[in-house]
A and B are shown apart, each in its own frame.
Chain A
């Protein structure tokens, strides 16, 4: 079988299929379970500097083609999170800590205080006031947050980008200037759903972020634009639910992929994607490297 191991964003991964941030990442035990189910790496739930309970419910709405969520960044603060990261690391795959803050200094403080294999900067959550995409839609802010964390941390820094912008490439270039080891694209698309019986927006926060198969073509386009223009690698995320989706994302130029919403069908998704990719590469007599960015052929730079 062809090898799926890959070096991406400063990490050595046994396979390119990772657990995405915000999915089953609150406890060390659930992160371990994802790793033992075949994830090549796991990203934690985002942690900030103070405990947050998140938004009132409903926090999730099933819509056609995916899920709409507004969790509201619930987290126990980084001060109560190291033990979960340490427990997750026992599974033997890289543990990437997702962190959020409202300023470069706040991000840097968290990065200085946590030990993880890498950091993923949440500059893209679309539904939390003062955090996420409220900073991450400004290229200058993306650059300065990335620079501040880079200076504070001695591990790779990944930057998760928002698609809720006119030009995601500008955000990717800003992350690269700030010293990021990779960009992760994309976070959820800002969205809402209304209960027609009552007229209430269903989410407790009124609006939230759309994930799942509905956003995959958007994510593929973002990965394609970013990967063909940046020097740092792109980690592709958004609606990946099968090995075919993963292959498509890698052809768009992603070095690795993350899976989130598809976990609602079970932890088996990691092995399904990895074994499907292996069989595909064998059938095509290709390596993972060959696949990466194949869709750029004929593109004028």
Chain B
């Protein structure tokens, strides 16, 4: 079987990843907002006996090599020289998208033009003469709708036939050739600023000429639904309250409507079905007491405490996926851009921060889209304050015990606090470590699209599966470790209070006395939570599960709730959640920060400063809350 290397190049949000997925059957993350792909990916597709290696390049507006994406795309096209470049362009926005096409053709790349979103072009009553466009550019142009799979076989057909053509065989002089010759003659190899401006102008003039002959728009541009919605959601005054409203709705959906009721059912299954059944089985086998404790307290107590929150994770990510796929998240970045720039922060930094709502690891990696190293470092330092999905089980556990009926408000307040701390730290850094001028942020707002159910389900399943995989790997392992450390000391089996875990916790506990959670149990939960945030819940499940069992074996639940209320007050529980929100997310984040900072010094700084911020803010909350309580008590006494 012969091989062919095909690169996919195009503007951000032109549908490259959708086409890549349609061609390869892969399930790469597709977001309806620019900048989703920041690295190149490879896949394979077989067509008519040809083995096609497909390379999806990051979206770029041009090949000027200003940002990381542009460098990756340009390097690949110039150095690796793929056999064909499929240049995917959004048919509803040809004016700007053809700029990259011209640059590709100027580089001599063998281009096949995929005219994407042809369905939306028709909906808007645009008429594109794609044959004429192809004639003028000297390339094959194939209309497609990647999201619906329309035109994909025709595209592959053109790609394979383009390969069989020798480069200039029988080629007529095209409009592009004439433009290129004239530009070459006029500008040549000059690299002055004036020559560069001239070249840009010449490209846009040629694009105007192309569109003048190939594109006919509707006589009167209708105000689209997107325009109407945008006039409200991107409004200077209403934009941020609407975003906060959606955030609130997300937690209401997660806790009150969908997630929590299912989580309660699952908890009931663990407590009333799985645990008694396992106990019975172990009894029947004549298993030793320590094995029963390891399986019931350690594994079911630890892993079960985490798994019960799976429905919350599904609900949260379903809502996030709807916001992203519909195109609303791009508006959030736009709205926050204005707010962040008004206080001197780079607006583009909010995109990695939004990604951080899901997971901090890709959020740190997404900082690669920032051109400026200073802004990149700053964003890497503040993005971890955005509350990731892994912290949700901790909030859900504590909020259910200490704030029943107000879970939505509590979790909402934590997310807002995370954003506020990120912004405050950003302002501090911007005025100290990272002084400098702003780089302007240009962002395309994609049209609103109805989320595709299949894509939503796949993404939510992906995240749920990832969570369960985590439960079956690191959380399982950490639960066993925590059980072991809580059941033994150097002299052998021991009461939990005399165990190695308790001894470790007692060393750390004084540090958290002023925070209101200076118990060894809370301290070790925070320590083990460095592996992954869900481990905080697993550890509490093991530690308090054992505590409950030693009292009365009948009171088994994967929810360490009743024991929690004996060790925390509502105020100290909130301070604990604040600490979990703000301290170093997990080892994986430390690993990715090390790679992206390319410096141990910066990584260590990031870890310790986050610990310090978490510790300080948590103390302020706890001591401030106590002070308010004292004032309130005094006032009531006086009255």
Do A and B pair up? The answer is no
Which residues in B have some Cβ–Cβ distance to A below 8 Å?
none
Which residues in A have some Cβ–Cβ distance to B below 8 Å?
none
